[in-house]
Every structure is written in structure tokens, then in C-alpha cells.
Amino acid sequence: MPVNSAGLLIARRIATESTDAAQTYPDLAIELSQTNTVEVRLACLLAEPPTDPSPMRLQFKLPLGEQRLRDALHPMAQPYLQAIFEKQALVLIVGSSEVQLLSGRSSPAAFSENRIWYRRKVVEVPPRPTNAGIDPNLRGAVVGLVGLGSVGSRAASLFAAAGASRLVLIDPDRLDNSNLRRHLCGPSYVGSLKVEAVAAMLEDAGFDTASDLLPRGVPREDSDAVRALLFTCDVLICCADSGPAQHYVNHVARKLEKPAIIASIKLLPEPLGEIVLTRPSEVGCFNCWRLSLQEQKLVLKADGHDPADYPETTPATPRGIPGFHLDQIAAVACDLSSRALAGTSPRVWLNAMQKKVHGFDDLEVQQSWIEEIAPQTNCLVCGL
């Protein structure tokens, strides 16, 4: 069961203290977010559908101030967490969309090790990727990683486990409380630059992988220097969601003749994992893939809109992604990197996460879809 570090931290502390449980709930969903205050939402997952869902949602506003996050959370959450421990139940940390959907869920579900309640239905949890040992293709490789969010942090961990000798970590942001729900780094890293947090996390985990840290946003800042650093890499990975960053990595990879993997999760109109591989020896690149989607009207390029986002967002469009999907995306990206260095691999890997994705009728829910990239004759990246 995916439990993020904030949840574990609270749970461990609760487990050592005795309090009176104010209420008894078999399972809880908790979301941490930050605006001016820390907001904790506790939502019950009961064995039976709730007749009146409103009492099942609790919300607290906690002052941040000088008080540390865990100290603020502790007294407010402890009655409920005590109940969890008495019942030996598990904690799932979810996003606001899950919490919102709890009130309208149509089927009950209990937690277990390999089943998870996820947006109105129970899905089987794919096996969490584990360190399968050193990958011969990645052993000693220098990997450039652009974007160290929920997918990027996992990819960094997998590359370190696979034997990469050096990681070039590029991300301009700092780790925020709102990242904790999905990020591999825990609350002790909040406030740190993500590049520093991920490097420290790898070191704490015992990896001896060297790291070059570049807290820059591409393609906005210092692009020439970033290109020079990426030139030293054997393979480039982009785990950033922004279209410009993805196009930047694709362009750099083509022009510096490096294999590149661009991995992300698209949330519009439905959750869709997307991983694109571009190889220097072959025509057809990430830009070709995007152009082909534009031709098919699956991606709209419009002023003010992210060309990387799929169109037709709706109020029901989910915003949260469970950790196991992120694990899956990172694991496939790592595997594709290995195969790219070995010279054989599929080019595009898509995975619909729950619902049918408009325009991708052949893509079955919870199944992967692999296809080649058709080179576009008008592509200004690999076509020139």
C-alpha cells in the first residue's frame, strides 16, 4: 500500500502514544496541501457505501507559523490515526479529486496489499518495481534527468539502483508540502531545492551515484550551459510535464545525438501515461509524435495552452495520480533507457490509467499501447 513519508511520520508518532480515539474509522485518506495554511483532509473509506457522505469528510485548517508541519498535524489527526492503529488498517494518501469522489463513489472497497480503491472502482495494483540489480546497459552510464517531480524522483532512484555512475539533475523548484503526496522525498526535505533533495535522498538510501546539480528551468535559463552539461550524458530523460521542457530535451538530444526518453503523465482529458523515445540514429522524434497528434486533432496547439496537454478538460478530469502509476511510468522510462542504450526498444509507450482516452480508442484501460513514431516530413527538429 503506498503510504507516503508524511503519513508514515504521523503514524509512527501516534503509535508510540496512547490517546482516546474520538471516532473509529477503518481506513482514512489524507491529503496535505498548502496555501496560507496546511490543510488536512481525512476521508473515510467504509466497507459499505455511505448513505450520507458528508460526515465522512473532515477538514482542518492548521497554522504553519514557526510550528513544524508534523507537530501541527499531530494533535489534530491523532484521534483518527489512533483508530487506524487499533484496527491495524492502512493509510492511503490521496489527492483532492479522490476525496471529492469519495462522496459519490458507487462501490465499496476494502484495502489489501494488492488491491486499492481508486476513483469509484477497485483496480489491481501492479507490482511495485523493485531493484532487480545492476542493469548491464545502464551500469556506469551518465544519465541527464530534467524534471525531478513525482516521476523524476522515482526515475532517479531507479537509475541509481540500476548502476548509473552519475546523474545530472536539473530542476529549478523547491520541494513544497504540496509535493509530498506524490514525491519520493519526504517532509524532512521540504524547502530544499529538488535537485538537492533527490541527491540527498539517494545518498541516504545508500547509493554511491555521483550527482551534478543544476537548479535551472529549461528552456528558460542558461540553456547553453545546460546543453554543455547534457552533452556529457549517455542518455537524457525528461520527466517534466511542461511542453517547452519536453521539446527542449528532444531538440538537444537530436542535435547532440543522444538517445532521449520523454516520460510524463497527461491528465487531460483522462489520465494517460506517455513515454516517447527518440534515438539519434532514426528519423521520427518527440516533435514528430506531437505533430502527428495535432494532425489527428488529439492535441490542440492554441495560444495560451500547453501544447503537451490533451484537450477537452472537464470538471471530472482527475488531478491526482496514485503512487503506483508513477512507479510504473518511472520504471518503464528506466527500462526504455536501458533498451535504448542497447539499441532496441519500442518508440512510444502509452498507458491509459482508468478511463477511455478520447481519440485513443485502441488504448484499453490499464493496458499499455506501443507504437512507432511516424516521421513527419515537416518536422523542424529531425526533418531538417
β strands within 137-207, DSSP E? 142-146, 166-170
266 counts as binding other proteins under rule CB under 8 A: no
168 counts as binding other proteins under rule CB under 8 A: no
Q: Which amino acid is at 109?
A: A
What is the sign of the dihedral through the CA atoms of 75, 13, 78 and 62? positive
302 counts as binding other proteins under rule CB under 8 A: yes
380 counts as binding other proteins under rule CB under 8 A: yes
244 counts as binding other proteins under rule CB under 8 A: yes
Contact segment (CB under 8 A) with other proteins among 152-160, 222-230, 332-340, 357-365 equals 222-230
Smallest gap from residue 284 Cβ to other proteins (A): 10
Q: How far apart are the first and last CA of the chain?
A: 48
Instruction: Using the minimum distance from each CB to other proteins, give the nearer residue, 78 or 250.
Output: 250
Cis peptide before 315 (omega within 30 of 0): no
Rounded Cα–Cα distance for residues 351 and 329 (Å): 9
Q: Measured at the alpha carbon of residue 42, what is the angle toward residues 181 and 85, in degrees to the nearest 5?
A: 90
Contact segment (CB under 8 A) with other proteins among 105-113, 134-142, 149-157, 213-221 equals 213-221
Residues contacting 140, CB < 8 A, separation 6+: 163, 164, 165
Q: Which amino acid is at 104?
A: G
142 counts as binding other proteins under rule CB under 8 A: no
Contact segment (CB under 8 A) with other proteins among 74-82, 244-252, 267-275, 340-348 equals 244-252
Q: What is the pattern of x (binds other proteins, CB under 8 A) and - over residues 267-296?
A: ----------------x---x--xx-----
Instruction: Using the minimum distance from each CB to other proteins, give the nearer residue, 45 or 348.
Output: 348
223 counts as binding other proteins under rule CB under 8 A: yes
**Residue of 41, 247, 258, 347 interacting with other proteins (CB under 8 A):** 247
**Residue of 12, 68, 87, 220 interacting with other proteins (CB under 8 A):** 220
β strands within 147-197, DSSP E? 166-170
Long-range contacts of 196-202 (CB under 8 A, 24+ apart): 197/148, 198/148, 198/152, 198/153, 198/156, 198/169, 199/167, 199/169, 201/153, 201/157, 202/156, 202/157, 202/160, 202/167
Number of other residues whose CB lies within 10 A of the CB of residue 206:
8
* CB crowding 66-75: b at 16 or more within 10 Å, else e: eeebeebbbe
Instruction: Using the minimum distance from each CB to other proteins, give the nearer residue, 99 or 252.
Output: 252
Instruction: Using the minimum distance from each CB to other proteins, give the nearer residue, 209 or 250.
Output: 250
383 counts as binding other proteins under rule CB under 8 A: yes
Instruction: Using the minimum distance from each CB to other proteins, give the nearer residue, 27 or 241.
Output: 241
Residues in contact with other proteins by the rule CB under 8 A:
218-220, 222-225, 227-228, 231, 242-245, 247-248, 250-252, 255-256, 283, 287, 290-291, 301-308, 375, 377-381, 383-384
